[in-house]
Amino acid sequence: MALTETTMQEILSGYAARRQQHETERDLRVAEIYRQIPEVAAIDEEIRSFGLNAIKGYLQSGHDAAKSLSELRSRYEHLTARKQALLRSNGFAPDAMEIHYTCPICKDTGYVDYEKCSCLKQRIVQAAYDHSGLPNNLKKENRQAFDPAIFSDEPYQNEALTPRQNILNNLKVVEDAVAQISAGGCRNLLFTGTAGTGKSFLSSVMANELLSLGKTVLYVGSYDLCAFFDQEHFGERARKAPSALSAEAIEACDLLIIDDLGAEFRTSLSYTSLFHLINQRLQNEQSTVLSTNWWIPELKELYDERFVSRILGGYTIVRFFGLDLRVTKAIAGNSSNR
Ligand SMILES: [Zn+2]
What CATH number has the domain bearing residue 218?
3.40.50.300
Position 103 scores a pLDDT of 92
Q: Give residue 109 CA to ligand 1 midpoint distance, Å.
A: 7
49 in a structural domain: no
Q: Give residue 125 CA to ligand 1 midpoint distance, Å.
A: 14
Position 129 scores a pLDDT of 81
Question: Tell me: the pLDDT tens digits for 68-125?
Answer: 788 888 989 999 999 999 999 999 999 999 999 999 999 999 999 999 888 888 888 7
With beta carbons less than 8 A apart as the criterion, state whether 257 and 203 touch. yes
Q: Give residue 23 CA to ligand 1 midpoint distance, Å.
A: 16
Q: Give residue 122 CA to ligand 1 midpoint distance, Å.
A: 9
C-alpha distance from residue 243 to each of 72, 133, 160, 224, 332 (Å): 62, 10, 44, 10, 38
Q: Is the dihedral of CA 21, 26, 27, 33 positive or negative?
A: positive
Position 337 scores a pLDDT of 47
Position 333 scores a pLDDT of 64
Position 338 scores a pLDDT of 40
With beta carbons less than 8 A apart as the criterion, state whether 197 and 325 touch. yes
Q: Give residue 180 CA to ligand 1 midpoint distance, Å.
A: 29
Q: Give residue 126 CA to ligand 1 midpoint distance, Å.
A: 14
Q: Which residues contact 80 (CB under 8 A, 6 or more apart)?
A: 47
Position 334 scores a pLDDT of 61
Q: How far apart are CA 142 and CA 313, in angstroms?
A: 29
Q: Give residue 15 CA to ligand 1 midpoint distance, Å.
A: 10
Position 94 scores a pLDDT of 92
Of 142 and 321, the one with more pLDDT: 321
Q: List, as one string, the DSSP characters of 208-250.
A: HHHHHTT--EEEEEHHHHHHHHHHHHHGGGSPPPPTT--HHHH
pTM of the model: 0.74
Burial of 276 (0-12, 13-18, 19+ CB in 10 A): exposed
Position 193 scores a pLDDT of 95
103 in a structural domain: no
Which helix (H) or strand (E) segment is 119 a member of? helix 118-130
Q: Which residues contact 78 (CB under 8 A, 6 or more apart)?
A: none
Question: For 48-57, 119-128, 185-194, 249-258, which range has the lowest pLDDT when averaged over its residues?
Answer: 48-57
Neighbours of 133 (CB within 10 A): 19
Q: Tell me the mean pLDDT in the region 259-287.
A: 90
221 in a structural domain: yes
How many structural domains comprise the chain? 1
Question: For 24-28, 129-133, 301-305, which range has the lowest pLDDT when averaged over its residues?
Answer: 129-133
Range of the domain at 256: 132-337
Q: Give residue 99 CA to ligand 1 midpoint distance, Å.
A: 14
Q: Give residue 85 CA to ligand 1 midpoint distance, Å.
A: 31
Q: Give residue 267 CA to ligand 1 midpoint distance, Å.
A: 47
Q: Give residue 27 CA to ligand 1 midpoint distance, Å.
A: 22
75 in a structural domain: no
pLDDT exceeds cutoff 80 at 63:
no
Of 144 and 108, the one with more pLDDT: 108
Average pLDDT value over all residues in the chain: 88
Burial of 31 (0-12, 13-18, 19+ CB in 10 A): exposed
- Place 332 in a pLDDT band, splitting at 50, 70 and 90: low
For 140, phi and psi rounded to 5 degrees? -100, 0
26 in a structural domain: no
Q: Give residue 260 CA to ligand 1 midpoint distance, Å.
A: 40
257 in a structural domain: yes
One-letter amino acid of 308: V
- With vertex at residue 76, the alpha carbon angle to CA 75 and CA 81, rounded to the nearest 5 degrees, is 100
43 in a structural domain: no
201 in a structural domain: yes
- Place 326 in a pLDDT band, splitting at 50, 70 and 90: confident
One-letter amino acid of 299: L
Q: Tell me the three state secondary structure of residue 26.
A: helix
Q: Give residue 117 CA to ligand 1 midpoint distance, Å.
A: 5
pLDDT exceeds cutoff 90 at 53:
no
Q: Give residue 72 CA to ligand 1 midpoint distance, Å.
A: 35
Q: Give residue 338 CA to ligand 1 midpoint distance, Å.
A: 55
Q: Give residue 12 CA to ligand 1 midpoint distance, Å.
A: 12
Question: Tell me: the pLDDT tens digits for 227-252?
Answer: 888 888 777 665 666 666 788 888 88
Q: How far apart are CA 215 and CA 183, in angstroms?
A: 10
Position 227 scores a pLDDT of 87
With beta carbons less than 8 A apart as the criterion, state whether 252 and 193 touch. no
